[in-house]
């Protein structure tokens, strides 16, 4: 059942890569590989990790979740 190419074994990463492709990469044209790397980095570090709503946080962004725990 498990093995290379079986998306069900790695559902969390498959979900992340789907979001990355659909929200950041699909339809974009990058002039250089470095430009693409910067766009992916910005998506992960700015959009996905900081502002995107996460079910594990009660559908709050990580910033909002942290603020609610500190306050």
Listed residue (27, 44, 38) closest to 52, CA to CA: 44
**Distance between CA 55 and CA 47 in Å, rounded?**
15
Residue 60 φ then ψ, to 5°: -105, 155
Q: Is the pLDDT of residue 2 over 70?
A: no
Residue 33, domain member (yes or no): yes
| Predicted confidence (pLDDT) at residue 1 exceeds the cutoff of 60 | no
- Please count the structural domains in the chain: 1
pLDDT tens-digit series, residues 16-56: 899 899 988 889 999 999 999 999 999 999 888 888 888 88
> Which residues constitute the domain of residue 13?
7-70
Give the pLDDT of residue 7.
Answer: 65
pTM of the model: 0.65
**Domain-embedded: residue 65:** yes
Residues written for the chain = 71
In a domain, 2, yes or no: no
pLDDT value, residue 42? 94
Q: Would you say residue 35 lies in a domain?
A: yes
Give me 56's structure tokens.
Answer: 């594990």
CA distance 51 to 57: 12
């Amino acid at each position: 059942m498990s093995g290379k190419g079986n998306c069900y074994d790695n559902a969390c990463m498959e979900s992340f890569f789907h979001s990355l492709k659909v929200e950041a990469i699909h339809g974009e044209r990058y002039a250089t590989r470095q430009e693409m790397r910067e766009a992916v980095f910005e998506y992960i570090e700015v959009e996905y990790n900081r502002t995107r709503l996460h079910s594990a946080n009660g559908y709050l962004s990580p910033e909002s979740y942290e603020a609610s725990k500190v306050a």
